[in-house]
Amino acid sequence: MPSVAVKPKQEQAKAKKPVLKVEDLHTYFEVRRMGFFKVGDVRALDGVSFELYPGETISIVGESGCGKSTLAKTILGIHRPTKGKIYFDGQDLSTLDKDGWKKYRSNLGYIMQDPYGALPPFMTVKRILEEPMKINGITDKKEHAKRIRQVLEEVKLAPIEDFLPKFPHMLSGGQQQRLVIARAMILEPKMLIADEPVSMLDASVRVEILQLLQGLQRKHNLAIIYITHDLSTVRYFSERIFTMYGAKIIEKSATKALLHEPLHPYTKALFEATSDPDAENLKTFKDVPAGEPPSLMNPPAGCRFHPRCKYIIKGLCDREIPPEFAARSDHSAACWLYKDRA
Amino acid sequence: MKNLMRQIKNYPSAVAGLAIILLLVALAIYAVTAIPYNEAVRLWRGGDNVWLETPRNARPAWFNWFYKEKKPVTIVRRTTDESAQKTELDLGGGVFIKDTILEFDFNYDDFPTELAIFFTASFQAARPNMNLVWVTPDGREIPLTELQVRANESYRVSQDSRLERRLGAKPEIGLFADPNNPGKPLKGTYQLRAEGMVFEEGSTVDASLVVYGQLHGLAGTDHRRRDLTVALLWGAPVALSFGMIAAVGSSLTTMMLAAAAVWFGGWVDWTIRRINEIVMILPLLPILIMIGLFYSRSIWSILGVVIALGIFGSGILSYRSMFLQVRESGYIEAARAYGAGNGRIIFRYMIPRILPVLIPGFVIQVPSYVFLEATLSVLGLGDPVLPTWGKILSDAQSNGALMNGYFYWVLEPAALLMLAGLGFVMLGFALDRIFNPRLRGL
């Protein structure tokens, strides 16, 4: 994969106000028996905090079921948080009324994994792009045409007139994902949430889409939350990487630092598991932790990774939840191994 | 849509079905424009007063094409006609003789069913006098009767027992019979001489002669002399609108309820499902019969009940299962992310997704509602005002049509009902194959 150069913008970004601030976010789903009796909760998000600055990309990595998508959907307002606060531009989302939500959502773009599923199959490209504008109170036809032209040019779906009357199934996978991005961009958002935007695309198209996202980010100073389990794309794309495990963020780091030295045992294992097309791999044994992801209904006590961790400190890891230890200025991990480095 | 039409062309049955439906629609439009609603109701409810000049229980006129011995059709002659030969003589003192000869050719091989003469007169005090003489083609003159005419008077020749005794046969037979071959009518030109006399200046008397045939019109007549064409024509718009409104109304409402149940989930879903389970076990036909008996037999109230009960049923469950799948689609999530409200998601995102799959279903459902209306009419619960196909069947049944050999009375509405069913079902099955590609190989 060719490298996509990223200027380290983190320092200059830090000086600004965060566009999104998440504080101790919990999202639980109730599990009921026979529709009435509450049996327990699935803790899909269990105390997540971070800040996102304009023009910055955060990657969130982790295995399936660790809460990455729940985090995205909670930020999008599809799930209501059980506890914790989300601030967008300093505004607490829990205080928003209906119009406030609408305005907030128009500042968000959402890009999903499956581009075909994300597009209503019975609408034409034109209609798909008009929908968000109609819903958000842009009624002027000329304005519609102008914006549609602009976003389609930005995502390089040309010639525009050819695409407008088409239905999603007439487009290729890459074109569909471009259309999804165009739809996300049509309201001129400040922030994009990309939930595995390239995992269902051909390898040949992935880079183009990521470059496209990056181009848009530069042009509009977008903040991007990039959710993936594909570590090979992360390094080219983001300033910071968060690792999630068992509904918690267990490691936060600048990309370079993380690639240089992952701290948390789980992150290490994750990098270990990344496959490289190298013939030498035949001979090496990958040290991947055994076991399964934790149950989110009854998470293990203490560190949620301890049943699978080979560095376990008995009596500590299986008892007490590790706080975030800042090993370096741009790198912190929620792991008892680093309690002395903090 | 263009694509759909192109695909329909590949299915001959769909083309035939569509042709039948278009034919019925054309018939319906013709009926509604040619006979406005009020006129149709007047004609249908009018009975003998409206249908003075049509025979009772006559077969359709075109049956003559198949008979070797031609049956008579109805002949009407009026003294007010241009062709009537009139002579007028002033006797002075306000007394006038007004003679009219009503002439008609009778070239049939069978006797008419009835004979009647209707009079209208205008006068101050003295009623005009009318003397009627029947002249056969071979020159015999048979005096019928002489009467003082009131403003509206009818003389039912067939029921004149004195004339019957004089002729030695029923008048409609005796007046037409060939003297040499009494079993056959004499062909030729018959005349009725209406010799009127009025006793006042400006007083008039007019007569019209009706020789009721054995055949009438396109569709024949029923026991109340009504031309069945009216009811057969008007049955088309009633059946089509009833069937389509019931099918589309109940399916669409079902779909909306199912979509709302799935989208809102929780207690909304629970309530809708429980109501559905209760309504599912209510028997439709007995409820309709009860409503017909105790509340109203208007077709619109029946339609309302049919839709209301048709909403619930197994349909809501199968739509629900489809919507459960649709709800999880990414595009719904995306729509929520850009702020679409509940109503918009249900109507613009969920329903359009499954609508194409269900169109064949509506089309196939239409005839079942058409038949339901006919069933209710046959059971005597049809709309008392509107002429419908079911009403014709109901009348035919209660008047023993089949026992008396009036088979056309049953077959005509039945054929139209079957045609409607056939058209919708043929189109529906073809649409099913177009919309559900899995069936195409079958």
- From residue A161, alpha-carbon distances to A22, A149, A153, A176 in Å are 41, 9, 11, 16
| Residue-range definition of the domain harbouring residue A103 | 21-107+189-338
> With contact defined as beta carbons under 8 Å apart, do B299 and B291 qualify?
no
Residue A1: what pLDDT? 39
What is the Cα–Cα distance from B180 to B187, expressed in whole angstroms? 12
Q: Do B337 and A110 touch (CB under 8 A)?
A: yes
Residues B187 and B257 in one domain: no
Does B50 fall in a domain? no
Residue that terminates a domain, selected from B212, B242, B260: B212
Helix axes B407-435, B228-264, angle to 10 degrees: 30
Q: Do A113 and B331 touch (CB under 8 A)?
A: no
Residues B16 and B107 in one domain: no
Query: Which of B331, B345, B357 is the best residue to mutate to test the A interface, defined by the most A CB atoms within 10 Å of its own CB?
Result: B331
The residue to which tokens 């105390």 are assigned:
A47
Mean pLDDT of A130-135: 91
Residue that terminates a domain, selected from B212, B242, B266: B212
Mean pLDDT of B150-176: 89
pLDDT digits (tens, 9 = 90+) for A56-88: 899 998 888 888 888 988 998 888 888 888 999
Residue B409: what pLDDT? 93
Residue B25: what pLDDT? 95
Please tell me the total count of domains within chain A.
1
DSSP-derived letter for residue A169 is G
Does A171 fall in a domain? no
Q: Which residue of B has its CA nearest to A99?
A: B339
What is the Cα–Cα distance from A103 to A96, expressed in whole angstroms? 10
All residues at 6 or more sequence positions from B156 whose CB lies less than 8 Å from its CB, including other chains: B114, B115, B116
Residues B78 and B10 in one domain: no
Instruction: Judge whether residue A177 has pLDDT over 60.
Output: yes
**What CATH number is given to the structural domain containing B7?**
1.10.3720.10
Residue B439: what pLDDT? 57
Count, residues in chain B: 442
Q: Do B344 and A135 touch (CB under 8 A)?
A: yes
All residues at 6 or more sequence positions from B222 whose CB lies less than 8 Å from its CB, including other chains: B56, B57, B228, B392, B395, B396, B399, B409
Residues B8 and B97 in one domain: no
Residue B350: what pLDDT? 92
Does B52 fall in a domain? no
User: Which chain A residues have a beta carbon less than 8 Å from that of B330?
Assistant: 112-114, 117-118
Q: Which of the four pLDDT bands, split at 50, 70 and 90, describes residue A342?
A: low
Q: Do B334 and A112 touch (CB under 8 A)?
A: yes
Residues B280 and B386 in one domain: yes
Q: Which residue of A has its CA nearest to B336?
A: A78
Residue B3: what pLDDT? 75
Does B61 fall in a domain? no
Does B110 fall in a domain? yes
Query: Which helix (DSSP H) or strand (DSSP E) does residue B174 occupy?
Result: helix B171-174
Does A115 fall in a domain? no
Residue A4: what pLDDT? 41
- Of the spans A6-10, A315-319, B371-375, which averages the highest pLDDT? B371-375
Does A159 fall in a domain? no
Residues B423 and B356 in one domain: yes
CA B134 centroid distance within chain: 37
Residue B189: what pLDDT? 92
| Residue-range definition of the domain harbouring residue B164 | 68-212
Q: Which of the four pLDDT bands, split at 50, 70 and 90, describes residue B183?
A: confident
Residues B92 and B207 in one domain: yes
Cis peptide before B352 (omega within 30 of 0): no
Between residues A341 and B69, which one has the greater pLDDT? B69
Could you tell me which of A8, A80, A21, A77 has the C-alpha nearest to residue A50?
Answer: A21
User: Which chain A residues have a beta carbon less than 8 Å from that of B352?
Assistant: 120, 122
Q: How many CB atoms lie within 10 A of CB B15?
A: 15
Burial (CB count <10 Å: 0-12, 13-18, 19+), residue B148 = exposed
Does A82 fall in a domain? yes
> With contact defined as beta carbons under 8 Å apart, do A174 and A208 qualify?
yes
Residues B243 and B202 in one domain: no
Residue A63: what pLDDT? 83
- Of the spans A271-280, B81-90, B218-227, which averages the highest pLDDT? B218-227
Mean pLDDT of A128-150: 90
Does A120 fall in a domain? no
Q: Which of the four pLDDT bands, split at 50, 70 and 90, describes residue B341?
A: confident
Q: Do A105 and B330 touch (CB under 8 A)?
A: no
Q: Do B334 and A110 touch (CB under 8 A)?
A: yes
Between residues A269 and B422, which one has the greater pLDDT? B422
Q: Which of A248-262, A268-282, B23-37 has the lowest mean pLDDT?
A: A268-282
Residue A15: what pLDDT? 58
Does A140 fall in a domain? no
Residue B1: what pLDDT? 66
Q: Do B330 and A117 touch (CB under 8 A)?
A: yes
How many angstroms away from the CA of A102 is the closest CA of chain B?
6
Does B339 fall in a domain? yes
Please tell me the total count of domains within chain B.
2
Residue A3: what pLDDT? 40
A101 and chain B in contact, CB less than 8 A: yes
How many angstroms away from the CA of A119 is the closest CA of chain B?
5
User: Which chain A residues have a beta carbon less than 8 Å from that of B270?
Assistant: 35
Instruction: Judge whether residue A100 has pLDDT over 50.
Output: yes
pLDDT digits (tens, 9 = 90+) for B224-264: 888 899 899 999 999 999 999 999 899 889 999 999 999 99
How many angstroms away from the CA of A75 is the closest CA of chain B?
10
Of A105, A121, A122, the CB nearest to B337: A105
**What CATH number is given to the structural domain containing B164?**
2.60.120
Residue A5: what pLDDT? 40
Does B431 fall in a domain? yes
Residues B128 and B74 in one domain: yes
pLDDT digits (tens, 9 = 90+) for B269-284: 999 999 999 998 888 8
User: Which chain A residues have a beta carbon less than 8 Å from that of B344?
Assistant: 135
Mapped onto helix, strand or coil, the DSSP state of residue B354 is helix
Q: Do B329 and A135 touch (CB under 8 A)?
A: no
Q: Which residue of B has its CA nearest to A117?
A: B330
Torsion B249-B255-B257-B260 (CA) sign: negative
Separation of first and last alpha carbons in chain B: 24
Residue A6: what pLDDT? 41
CA B97 centroid distance within chain: 45
All residues at 6 or more sequence positions from B212 whose CB lies less than 8 Å from its CB, including other chains: B54, B55, B56, B58, B74, B112, B113, B114, B115, B116, B172
Residue A198: what pLDDT? 86
User: Which chain B residues have a beta carbon less than 8 Å from that of A112?
Assistant: 330, 333-334
Residue B245: what pLDDT? 92
Residue that terminates a domain, selected from B212, B234, B251: B212
Q: Which of the four pLDDT bands, split at 50, 70 and 90, describes residue B126?
A: confident
Task: Give percent of chain B above pLDDT 70.
Answer: 98
A96 and chain B in contact, CB less than 8 A: no
Does A9 fall in a domain? no
Instruction: Judge whether residue B314 has pLDDT over 90.
Output: no
What is the Cα–Cα distance from B114 to B55, expressed in whole angstroms? 8
Instruction: Judge whether residue A98 has pLDDT over 90.
Output: no
pLDDT digits (tens, 9 = 90+) for A224-259: 999 987 777 887 778 899 999 888 888 898 888 888
- Listing DSSP states for A106-133 in one string gives HTEEEE-S-HHHHS-TTS-HHHHHHHHH
Residue A35: what pLDDT? 64
- From residue B427, alpha-carbon distances to A68, A155, B24, B310 in Å are 49, 44, 14, 22
Does A235 fall in a domain? yes
**What CATH number is given to the structural domain containing A28?**
3.40.50.300
Residue A7: what pLDDT? 43
Mean pLDDT of B302-317: 88
> With contact defined as beta carbons under 8 Å apart, do A27 and A81 qualify?
yes
Residue A315: what pLDDT? 83
Instruction: Judge whether residue A2 has pLDDT over 90.
Output: no
Pair of tokens at residue B141: 């003159």
Residue A291: what pLDDT? 78
Residues B379 and B432 in one domain: yes
Residues B264 and B133 in one domain: no
User: Which chain A residues have a beta carbon less than 8 Å from that of B272?
Assistant: none
Q: Do B337 and A76 touch (CB under 8 A)?
A: yes
State the count of interchain CB pairs (< 8 A) between A and B. Answer: 62
How many angstroms away from the CA of A249 is the closest CA of chain B?
24
